[in-house]
Structure 1
Amino acid sequence: MNGEMHPRKRALIIGGSLGGLFAGNMLQQAGWDVDIFERSAQDLDSRGGGIVLQPEVVALIRRSGIERDWDNLGVRSAHRVVFRPDGSVEHRQHAPQVQTSWSLIYSLMRSTISDIHYHKNSLLTDITFPDDHHVTAHFKGGARETGDLLIGADGNGSFVRKLLWNDTPDYAGYIAWRGLVPENAMPERARQQLHGDFAFASNLGSHILGYLVPGADNDLRPGHRFYNWVWYRIVDDAQREAIMTGTDGVARRYSVPEGLLAARWKAHLDTEAQTLLPPGFRDIVQATKEPFAQAIRDLAVDKMVKGRVILLGDAASIPRPHTAASTSKAAANALALGDALQAWPDDTDKALSEWEQEQIFRGKYLRKMGISMGDRLLFGGA
């Protein structure tokens, strides 16, 4: 009888990456039915790249019912070390923290959503509103699904945002080169200078950092991990467009995946590493077989709720990576959303209204902080 009086509400989540999985878990905890729609036809667990593990992500993992302690979520580093361009140590500080990988967190969160509710190869084409309390998602091929809430968790290039919002990200004027090197393949000089620490080095228009992360298949055993590096370089629009055109001939606007970087840009990286980087970082960059790249962009929307559609994670705001906050922001958005929907189980609009303001503030604060950090590091700004 109670189930008939209060039928379970249904959420449609567009985007099956971390933001979508975080949101799906928290809505399940709040008693909602959840379906996640991912445009890719393949699993997403092969993506490279490191994440600094933040408390919000750990809190969400625990609330999802996953029992993992900090040491099983990533690789611990002991110190933060800043190198001068000549390789001498400018600053060394004891600062323990844990670094993990996108892949490890994705695998954990994906295990909590049953396959029947995770729909691959689902390309959103439109959103319509049958009434004030429901929303319908239309997909390529003619499929459509209706729910009480649609969550745009489809990343920094969000199609949900393009459909219903006017906000577009701004290019920050620099890109992040990235790479992963197997721990057991680290050059000797890189191993001596970088291994086990969270390391940084700056030069004119250049800022690089690196740390150990879980290895293939989320392996945490010493010797089986990856060294993850991120190198920020000032790049104008014309050069960015050239870099983002991969070996497959596809002209991507803001990223080129691992394995698709053209040979000329690998050679360019080697040359620049020789000129700008201290020896340890120089060696690790030159030892990277398949570097990849992403453009740094800024975004923070003024509204995250439009009727029964909301934006979450990077779809709503894109903090620069210097803040180490992209994943933790998505987790915080999802945690707060779950709390709000549980606090107002019979008034979804009230829950969304209460949820929205703090999340907008969070996105704008991180945008401002990221711009300040990045401009100071790359352009020498205040």
Structure 2
Amino acid sequence: MTDKPRALIVGGSLAGLFTANLLGRAGWDVEVFERSPHDLDSRGGGIVLQPEVVEVFRRMGIDVGAMTLGVASRYRTVFGPDGSIQSKQLAPQVQTSWSLLYSTLRKGFGDARYHQGMTLAGLDQDRDAETVTARFADGSSRTADLLVGADGGNSAVRALLWPDARPRYAGYVAWRGLVAENEMPPVSREMLHGDFGFANNKGSHILGYLVPGAHNDMRVGHRLYNWVWYRVADEALLAEILVDRNGRPRVSAIPEGMLADRWRAHLDTEADQLLPPPFGEIVRATRQPFIQTIRDLAVDQMVSGRAVILGDAAAIPRPHTAASSSKAAANALSLADALASTSDIDVALARWQPAQVALGKALLRQGMQTGDHLLFGRRPLLEVG
């Protein structure tokens, strides 16, 4: 037996591992339950590195000054549809990869209390005992002082606690792809390599940058070029796209290697029509493009008794904010701080919730205004007061 407070983390991706590492180092007894029976992979592609993620690593005891966390870019370059450079501004930043963040967090937490193939079936709360019990599809259960739903945009925890809080389709998708640095076509290599590139067209917005390569390799020539292409798609077209190569309907994304063959030609045709040559070439050179739908969500509540949700389970900012991972890290950092400030867990959760709900809603507004302007030409609304 242990006198440590116990936490169950449902979801073993970035948000769950941010939380697990921080609570574990704050003296909690933590277990993580991941639905997938397999190790998670890097299909999330590239991520802009943000200070909140670096702060989690610092609190984990990682020497962030000695560790290379990603690939630096120097300029932000905007291309016209014909390939001409419309603007080029010095704006140094670092781009990392989902894989690098995940592998670092997973190593920090360890394998002993990270359980795979565990699908949440239900949860129960005992208000008198101040505990929460998670029930899993295999018939097992765990009881703890706190349950954290960090299980992503299709959160089972959110569905159990707030079934009416569902993501809304924003009217466009993000096609994505990764190309080995040394396989970049000549024009793409010359115009895109080393910078953060953008290009706009009607109903189209694309961006790209270098990220670490396989096994987090950051040597020149071993990295990957990551691109994200936002395209307007009505719900009828979306329903067709979200049927994978095996004929299985997907909820919100098609991972690498599972896109139906017909969409390869569709992408190439649209690239010829809408993209400047450097981006058109990089899209055509991508062997296994993948796709995610752009959705909107920001809940009004993140706490229900001793159960909470955070990360994309609570708010899904559009990718234009570059804030999905940083928001999850911010949620986890704030939760760890709140729980460390008092021995009363309920008081800590009450203190934690308001600012985190407000953060999710602010990022929702920011992402909607940016995305609707880029994809639909709508002017951002000015906030008064």
Using the alignment, how far apart are the partners of 1:76 and 1:85 within structure 2? 26
Counterpart position of 2:19? 23
1:113 deviates by 1.2
* Unaligned stretches of 5+ residues in structure 2: 380-385
AA of the residue aligned to 2:330:
A
Q: Which of residues 4, 7, 16 in structure 2 aligns to 1:11?
A: 7
Alpha-carbon RMSD = 1.1
Number of the residue aligned with 1:249:
247
Q: Deviations over 1:123-144 (max 9, x none)?
A: 1000011334100000012100
Q: Which residue of 2 aligns with 1:296?
A: 294
Q: CA separation in 2, counterparts of 1:246 and 1:128?
A: 35
Shift of 1:175: 0.1
**Kept in 2: contact 1:45–1:107 (CA 8 A):** no
Separation (CA, whole Å) in 1 of partners of 2:66 and 2:325: 16
Equivalent residue, structure 2, for 1:67: 63
Partner of 1:203: 201
Where does 1:91-102 land on structure 2 (aligned, <5 Å)? 91-102=87-98
Deviations 1:32-79 (A, max 9, x none): 110000000111134340000000000111111122338600000000
The equivalent position to 1:358 in structure 2, one of 334, 347, 355, is 355
The answer for the alignment partner of 1:287 in structure 2 is 285
Give the AA of the match of 2:65: D
Tell me how far apart the structure 1 counterparts of residues 44 and 212 of structure 2 sit (CA, whole Å).
Answer: 10
- Alignment match, 2:383: none
Aligned residue among 105, 124, 129 for 1:128: 124
Looking at structure 2, the residues matched to 355 and 189 of structure 1 have their Cα atoms a distance apart, in angstroms, of 50
TM-score (norm 2): 0.96
User: Amino acid of the residue matched to residue 112 of structure 1?
Assistant: G
1:186 to 184, 187, 192: 184
Distance 1:266 1:62 in 2: 42
Structure 2 distance, partners of 1:89, 1:46, is 31
How far off is 1:160 after superposition?
A: 0.4
Contact 2:127 2:305 in 1 (8 A): no
Identity %: 59
The one-letter code of the counterpart of 1:88 is S
Contact 1:241–1:253 under 8 Å retained in 2: no
> Which residue is 1:58 aligned to?
54
Contact 1:48–1:180 under 8 Å retained in 2: no
The answer to whether 1:324 aligns with 2:339 is: no
Give the equivalent residue in structure 1 for 2:219.
Answer: 221
Q: What number of residue pairs does the alignment pair up?
A: 377
State whether residues 203 and 276 of structure 1, in contact with CA within 8 Å, keep that contact through their aligned partners in structure 2. yes
Q: Which amino acid aligns with 1:125?
A: A
Asked whether 1:155 is paired with 2:152, we answer yes
CA contact (8 A) 1:30 1:339 kept: no
TM-score by length of 1: 0.97
